[in-house]
Amino acid sequence: MFPKRMLPLAALLAFAATPALATEAIEESLNRLIPNAEIDAIESTPLDGMYEVRYGTDIFYVSEDGRYLLQGALIELETRDNLTERSRNQVRAGLFADIDDSELTVYTPNGEQRGVLNVFTDPNCPYCREVHQDMPEYLDAGIKVRYLMYPVLGDRSPEIMNRIWCADDREDAMDRAKAGDPLSDMDGSCATPQNEHMTLGQALGIRGTPALITEHGAQISGYQEPQAVIERILAED
């Protein structure tokens, strides 16, 4: 589950838009079922008498009387729109919008910024290095790339990642690390957000790197050709 500071304003407003009796019944039922978890939002759905309940990016559908629970994707067949994934995207977008660039290693395009790509990365991940090699293509397309710490490959990955974040020039340190340099000449003893980034990634269900999240919250696992990712980002606007 996510820390409560990550709860977006839209989630708070959702309670006001939901009939009070339905909210009360759903909360009472789920609090019995999951006593140690706090509901982030309850919202209406296109289905009469069925409500969307969010625990972070975990989404369930519960009847207004709190008796029945459905788990799975809610899809509008006419448009083939995955309403469940749309809700998850909104939550993820809010989470990353709250993370300041100062907490990350950021590559910014020289010209017009047309989109943002958040990337959970590991210095020893081969496919992460391929993503990094594609950096010029992303920047030329106006995509700002924001790296988060997710050192899960190898015992030295956490140490190397800390050295990047402690560097005076994080971009240069990241470039060196992506080329296979363990940065042994650099100090990694400063305070870094490694634990926070790991917790966020785990809450999002990320099991490996690279993991890419667009500005609007779409999650892409594994390496993808940059042009496909760029087209997806630009299509979100």
DSSP 4: G
The rounded distance, in Å, linking the Cα atoms of 33 and 17 is: 24
The arithmetic mean of pLDDT across residues 9-13, rounded, is 41
pTM, two decimal places: 0.82
The arithmetic mean of pLDDT across residues 214-234, rounded, is 95
Is residue 102 within 8 A of residue 195, CB to CB? The reply is no
At residue 18, does pLDDT exceed 70? no
The arithmetic mean of pLDDT across residues 208-218, rounded, is 96
Is residue 128 within 8 A of residue 121, CB to CB? The reply is yes
For residue range 39-77, what is the model confidence (pLDDT) as tens digits?
Answer: 999 999 999 999 999 998 899 999 999 999 999 999 999
- pLDDT score of 14: 43
- pLDDT score of 154: 86
Is residue 212 within 8 A of residue 138, CB to CB? The reply is no
Q: What is the DSSP annotation of 107-162?
A: E--SS---EEEEEEE-TT-HHHHHHHHTHHHHHHTTEEEEEEE---SSTTHHHHHH
The rounded distance, in Å, linking the Cα atoms of 61 and 56 is: 14
The arithmetic mean of pLDDT across residues 165-186, rounded, is 97
131 pLDDT band, cuts 50/70/90, is very high
Sheet order of strands, 219-221 included: 105-107, 143-149, 115-121, 211-214, 219-221
142 pLDDT band, cuts 50/70/90, is very high
At residue 34, does pLDDT exceed 70? yes
- pLDDT score of 181: 96
Q: What is the DSSP annotation of 27-82?
A: HHHHHHHSTT----EEEE-SSTTEEEEEETTEEEEEETTS--EE-S--EETTTTEE
Sign of the four-CA dihedral 101, 209, 181, 163: positive
- pLDDT score of 20: 67
- pLDDT score of 30: 92
Q: Mean pLDDT highest for which of 51-55, 142-146, 150-154?
A: 142-146
Distance of CA 49 to CAs 59, 75, 223, Å?
A: 16, 17, 41
The arithmetic mean of pLDDT across residues 9-16, rounded, is 41
Pairing assessment for the beta strands 143-149 and 115-121 based on DSSP bridges: parallel
The rounded distance, in Å, linking the Cα atoms of 9 and 178 is: 37
19 pLDDT band, cuts 50/70/90, is low
131 CB neighbour count, 10 Å cutoff: 24
At residue 8, does pLDDT exceed 50? no
Percentage of the chain with pLDDT > 70?
A: 91
16 pLDDT band, cuts 50/70/90, is very low
The size of the chain, in residues, is: 237
For residue range 96-113, what is the model confidence (pLDDT) as tens digits?
Answer: 999 999 999 999 999 999
Domains of the chain: 4-96 (3.10.450.70), 100-236 (3.40.30.10)
